[in-house]
Amino acid sequence: MAKFVSEKIKMRTSARLAAVQATYMIAYGQLPVDEVIKDFVKGEVGRYVIKESFPDKEEMIPVEQMDTEYFTSLVKGVHSNKEQLEKSLSSYLNEGWSFERMDGTLQALLLCAVYEIANTLDIDVKVIIKEYVDLAYAFYTKYEPKVVNALLDTIAKSVRGV
């Protein structure tokens, strides 16, 4: 039983990573949602991540198999609620910050995270926040993961009352 639960967690983590990538591709590549989803599910896109090591060496690492149903529902949910999610996110940003000024990867990550916080009530919000903070560390090395953590924590308290 524990192995099955562990495998399911890894598959959800991979689904979240792929959802962030797909959300970015849809927004900035202006690609059709269903086409992007199909490419990820078939494994034509998003199957590897780059692992950087010293000195100036990069290695392609295969991503764990993902929960395709979870991935599909997450990407479709974000896409169909994108405008509302952006407005919601903007309302939580400190003065001087705007959603539009964030880079595309951070936007995609936050859209997926906020969608999950608001719509996957069967998953502990702390798990969702940790997953997206970990993803932020995969993409960024500076202050962004801390911003993601603080922002998602504030949103979770407001949305879920935790």
pLDDT at 162 over 90: no
Q: How confident is the model at residue 43 (pLDDT cuts 50, 70, 90)?
A: confident
What pTM was estimated for this model as a whole? 0.87
Structural domains for the chain: 2-160 (1.10.940.10)
At 112 the pLDDT is 98
- What does the pLDDT average to over 27-48? 85
Within a 13 Å sphere around the CA of 47, how many CA atoms are in the beta-carbon half? Answer: 7
- Given a cut of 60, whether residue 4 has pLDDT beyond it is no
pLDDT at 2 over 50: no
Give the pLDDT confidence of 79-108 residue by residue, as tens digits.
999 999 999 999 998 877 888 888 999 999
Residue 143 has phi, psi (to 5 degrees) of: -90, -15
Would the pLDDT of 161 be above 70? yes
Q: pLDDT tier at 124 (50, 70, 90 boundaries)?
A: very high
In whole angstroms, give the CA distance from residue 42 to residue 12: 17
